[in-house]
């Protein structure tokens, strides 16, 4: 199972053993270690990976997830 955790004022932490990161052309990124973090602020010099640039750019994302949402009635539950 893969988990993506939105960190407060920071990156997206990607955890899981069977994770592949693919670009828009279908090319796979080399992931040097797991878990790994993806940039959310846009300031990383190592995009798409986080290099902690968000600490310098005053990223102000403090909104938490709104809570669990129910899927639409016509969508079958995920397996």
Q: Would you list the domain boundaries of the chain?
A: 1-61
- Per-residue confidence (pLDDT) for residue 77, from 0 to 100: 65
- Per-residue confidence (pLDDT) for residue 29, from 0 to 100: 94
φ/ψ of residue 65, rounded to 5:
-60, 145
**Which CA distances in Å does 18 have to 2, 3, 34, 35?**
7, 11, 10, 11
- Per-residue confidence (pLDDT) for residue 39, from 0 to 100: 92
- Per-residue confidence (pLDDT) for residue 78, from 0 to 100: 66
User: What gap in Å lies between CA 39 and CA 52, rounded to an integer?
Assistant: 8
- Tell me the average pLDDT of the chain: 84
Q: Which residues contact 7 (CB under 8 A, 6 or more apart)?
A: 13, 37
What is the arithmetic mean of pLDDT over 29-50?
Answer: 91
Domain 1-61, architecture per CATH: 3-Layer(aba) Sandwich (3.40)
pLDDT digits (tens, 9 = 90+) for 2-29: 999 988 888 899 999 889 999 999 999 9
């Amino acid at each position: 199972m893969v988990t993506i955790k939105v960190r407060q004022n920071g990156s997206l932490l990607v955890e899981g053993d069977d994770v592949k990161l693919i670009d828009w052309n279908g090319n796979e990124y080399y992931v040097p270690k797991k878990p790994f973090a993806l940039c959310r602020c846009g300031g990383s010099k190592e995009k798409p990976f986080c290099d902690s640039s968000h600490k310098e750019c005053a990223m102000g994302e403090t909104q938490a997830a709104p809570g669990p949402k129910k899927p639409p009635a016509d969508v079958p539950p995920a397996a």
